[in-house]
Every structure is written in C-alpha cells, then in structure tokens.
Structure 1
Amino acid sequence: MSLLLPVAATAGPLAVGWSVHGLWFRRQIERARRDPLTGLPGRTAFLAWVRRMRAQGLVLVWVDLDRFKVLNDTHGHAAGDAVLVTSAARLAGWAEHHGGYAARLGGDEFAAAITAPSHLPDALGSLHEVLCGSVPYRRHELRVGASVGAYREEGLAESGLGRAMRRADEAMYAAKRSGGGWCIAHGPIPSMTTTNGRRTGRRGTSGGAR
C-alpha cells in the first residue's frame, strides 16, 4: 500500500497537466487555422463548418471589396489592413446575427455561410450597406465598395458543394460587373466558363484579374 500511495497522489496533478497541455495544443491548432490579420477562420475551417451544417439548409455568400487596390495605392498598406480588419469584423457580426460563420479566403476576398433568412434580399442589402460604411483611419474616413454574391443550396449532394460555392462566386462576379451591390444565383448549373478549373476572370486564370 505504501508504494501505491505516492502514485495515487501524483496521478491527479499529472492528469491535470496533460489536460491543460491538450487544451493549449488545441488552441494552437485553432489559432494556426485563423487568418493572422483579421482573426477570421481560413478556407479549410470554413469548408469544415459548411459540411457540418449543410443539413440545415445554408446560403453561401461570397464577398469581394471594390476599389481596394486603389485605396492601398493611395493610402498605403497599413490603411488597407485597417479596412480588411474592419470589413472582417462587420462580416463576422452579420454572419453571427444570421446563425452563420465567416471566413477570409485571401486578399480582399471573404466568404460566409448563414442559415437561410426569411427574406434573403433584405439580409444581403444590409450586409452590403454595412460593408460600404466608412472606416476611420488616422485623420481619414476610408471607403471601399463591396460586391456580394449569394447562392441558396438546393439539396445538393456532398459532391455538389464545389458547384454551390462556384455559383456564389459567379453571383459575386456578376455584382462586380454591374458596379457593386449584391446578386443571388439561381439554379445549380454554372453560368460562366472555366479556366484551369476556376471561373474565368478570377485571379490566377488566363482570363485576367478582377
């Protein structure tokens, strides 16, 4: 019995130590999956959330800031970072209000997935309005526009998730071509051509950059 007592006495602290270490490790992994500038999850975490929640019926939303390069060139990258951080917070707040999840895809591209609201046009209109609000920076009021595209999933199978994302991206591009605002894609069939497996016109395709 005397040999077992020390072991029993140390088992509790060891278990607590490993529990704390495991929690720290999980937090490090979660932090690594987030964008270091905005704090939003990245594409991988976003897709994992969408796959878990698809059964509820989601609306996928793609966002691209308008005139962001001009702002960067005019006011500098620090000003651009301030706009990205503020835009990310605004998108995240909107998505949370609608029971959803927001992410930064890269550059000035963002995505969100929300449970279908009772009136999607009103929800998208409010998102566009808040994203276009001015951002205080030093003695300036910085402004960028936003192009918002949405696609309401229509019971597509798991293999159709990529197509649903493509439709949201196409709707966003349609809004951008019309000068900004928001657009909803209808039907699961992509309406635009592809280049190297991506929508023609996206960055990195031979069709040019947006």
Structure 2
Amino acid sequence: MNHVPGISYFKIRGVKTRSSRAAFTLVELLVVIAIIGMLVGLLLPAVQQAREAARVMQCSNNLKQIGLACLNHESTIKFYPNSGWGYAWVGDSDLGMGWKQPGGWSYQILPFMEQQALYSIMGDGDMSTMNKAAGSTLLQTPLAFLHCPSRRTPKLYDGSTTDTGGNYTRPAQRAKSDYASCMGDYGYGQLEDIRTA
C-alpha cells in the first residue's frame, strides 16, 4: 500500500459505509405511483366541476348580455326586438327596425352586441333588392353569445337544402342558437297591426 503523506488511513468507529448508493425499491416506487394516481383521481372530478361551473357562468353571462342588448334596442328604437317575418327570412339592414324588418330578435340586437358589420352585411342600399348570397353568409356565421358552452360550441351544423329562404339561399351548413325568445301571439299577417298599438 502506498502511503501518501498527510492522509490518515484509520477507520472511524461507529460510521457504517455502504458500497451502493441509496435508491427506491420497486415496492416504494409502486406505492408512490398509487398515491399519485389516487390524488389525480380525487382532483379530476373537482377540476371538471370547476370547468362546468365556468361554462354555466358563461351561459348566464350570455343571457345577461342578450337582455342588455334588448334593453338598449328598446331605449334606442323605442320598442323591443320583434320576431321578424319567420324562419324563412334573414335580416336586411336596409329595411330598418320594426314590422318591416324580416330578421328576428337575434338579428335585431346585433348592433347592440358589437356586431354592426354582421348586421350590415345584407345592406346594399336598395330596399327593393335582396342579396341572397349575403343572407347565406349571415346564416353561416356562428356567434359565441348565441351558444351556451355547457351545451355545444359555436360551429356550423348540417341542415336541409331542399327549401329556400325568403331572402336567402339556404346553405348546406348553418349556425344555430341555444337561446329563443317569446314575441307574443301575433301571427305574420298581424304584424302591421301592432305598429299602431
């Protein structure tokens, strides 16, 4: 044995030396994995509940914004949005608001929901013409405020193309809404009667 000056080769009593370094055993590793799995299993439903609560809150916020838009419509135009001429018609900004407007309530509140460009898409400056292509574009624009995230996402849905709309060509896919409104019990032929009521 070679002796290096200044280094003592005496063993210290009471100190155990190990030839291998400390490591996890397979059993310890499996226990840690099981504990992590249980924690994830307990936390996952809580995370899903929090996400669903956020989606429900967004639905409530959508309804609040729609209600405020209807109130702003009433404040500006002096009446609430009406039902339009029925499902076969889309809105035309050239026709203004009221009984002459073929678009329903969701179209009539667009300017009050920061959607002025979409509201004006049918407008061509001529009240006697119908821009059927623009009407199809209007129907193919999903709007987030018309969808409840708990139910579905805003996207295009397949629909019938066999019938045509009154002032648009019915596209193969169109946007939908999760919200509806009651506009009273007046029929199409009675709309003109209510403007003087």
Identify whether the pair has TM-score above 0.5, normalized to the shorter chain.
no
More helix by share: 1
TM-score normalised by length of structure 1: 0.27
TM-score normalised by length of structure 2: 0.29
More strand by share: 1
